Chain A
Amino acid sequence: MISLGDLKFLYAASCVFLGLIILAPTLAMVVSFPGGEKFSELWILGSGHLIEGYPFNVSADNVYSAHLGIGNHMGGLEYYLVYVKLRNQTESAPDSLNATPSGLAPLFEYRAFVFDGDVWEREVSFSLGGVSFEGGLCRVSSLVVDDSAFSVDKVAVWDQVNNGFYLQLFFELWRFDTTVSGFEYHGRFVWNWLNVTRSL
């Protein structure tokens, strides 16, 4: 048989437990628990939203496409900017170790507001124009991204190891920092190597 003291303790504990249940909604609004790691995702997928079927062998005036996506895990609404840039083998690329962007000027850009836990995705279409080949050089004079034509003067040198004239189309993720009221490079970039070939 349980003693009166034990019964009193059990009764008091039950009441405290019930009290905590009643207070739980208020506590949940006031007490903030440390969240998980905050980060953003940036990805590029080939045709069919798969990690295959990326445009690789490209020729002048043909339109190619890929799917660009952003995932937000920063814990709140975020304002993102993605710069589209084109470089040859020798021009500056973003630095993964130091989290610095490429020094090249952006051509096209995408902007989006993304809620926490949400994703944003767009199909990116592009084509190269004014492609000429001369000896061991390939010159590309224009890039069209989503119907906007940009003058680019990119020269790709014949890559003897990989057998091709390579240009890299890459995408840098920037995030709007409300404390400085400006965009800052978010340390994420994805790319797609393009082997420029003669039109068939």
Chain B
Amino acid sequence: MKCYGGGSGRKWFPLLAVFALMCMAVSFSVRVFGANDVSSEIAEAEGKVREAYAAVLDVESLGVNASGLVHTMNRAVHALGDANSAFRAGDYENASLLADLCVGFADDVSAEAGNLKKDAESRPSGLFMTAALSSVGVSVLFVLALFGWRFVKNRYVKHVLKMKPEGVVSG
């Protein structure tokens, strides 16, 4: 009596195992875009944009030109706005991708703002430099004014002494 079943099973086992492994790999790699997951991704993106905005305002208050940062911020919020719109339209996959894109831009802005803040803080502030120059200028002016007054006064006195008396004819 021949038994075909057992031999055939052993033959197909490696192929089935490989197929099962592939299925597992695919199931891990494919993201399921549920409304709740995407909603929290968008909320995270909103939070990142708020952080980046606070960082930009912080850097701006130090007198740093933040136009480059704001350009990237606009790319972030453009993606965020589109993510929200896609979410409302029920396009969760696109919404998720756009939210991720927004997070990337916002993180870039936060990092760049941090660097700019460090640079700005390591340099003397514009106000300090201006105040120092003004102080030096006023001090120099004060000294020059004292000497200048002696010069002006001497010239005035010489001028007065050189004057000839004039007679006044009374009516």
Contacts and interface: CB of A to CB of B under 8 A. Distances in A.
B138 A19 contact: yes
Interface stretch (B1-9, B14-22, B27-35, B78-86): B78-86
A17 to B, nearest CB: 11
Nearest to A24: B134
B84 A109 contact: yes
B104 to A, nearest CB: 16
Contacts of A19: 138, 141
Contacts of A105: 88
Interface of A: 1, 4, 7-8, 11, 15, 18-19, 22-23, 25-26, 29-30, 76-77, 79, 81, 105-113, 115, 145-146, 148-151, 176, 178, 181
Contacts of A148: 82, 85-86, 89, 91
Given A4-B156, A19-B138, A111-B78, A29 B56 contact: no
Chain A contact residues, majority secondary structure: mixed
Interface of B: 50, 53-54, 56-57, 60, 66-67, 70, 73-74, 77-78, 80-82, 84-86, 88-91, 126-127, 130-131, 133-134, 137-138, 141, 145, 148-149, 152-153, 156, 160, 163
B77 A112 contact: yes
B81 A150 contact: no
Given A7-B156, A18-B141, A107-B85, A178 B134 contact: no
20 contacts: A4-B156, A7-B153, A11-B148, A19-B138, A22-B134, A22-B138, A22-B141, A26-B130, A29-B127, A30-B127, A108-B85, A108-B88, A111-B80, A111-B81, A113-B53, A113-B73, A115-B67, A148-B86, A148-B89, A150-B88
A26 B131 contact: yes
Contact of B53 (A29, A30, A112, A176): A176
Contacts of A150: 88-89
B66 A25 contact: no
Contacts of B50: 181
Contacts of B126: 29
Nearest to A181: B50
A11 B149 contact: yes
B50 to A, nearest CB: 6
A4 B131 CA distance: 35
A181 B57 CA distance: 13
Contact of B145 (A7, A15, A109): A15
B57 A77 contact: yes
B131 to A, nearest CB: 5
A151 B89 CA distance: 7
Nearest to A10: B152
Given A22-B134, A115-B70, A150-B89, 16 more contacts: A1-B160, A1-B163, A7-B153, A7-B156, A11-B145, A11-B152, A23-B134, A76-B60, A108-B88, A109-B81, A111-B80, A148-B85, A148-B89, A148-B91, A149-B89, A178-B53
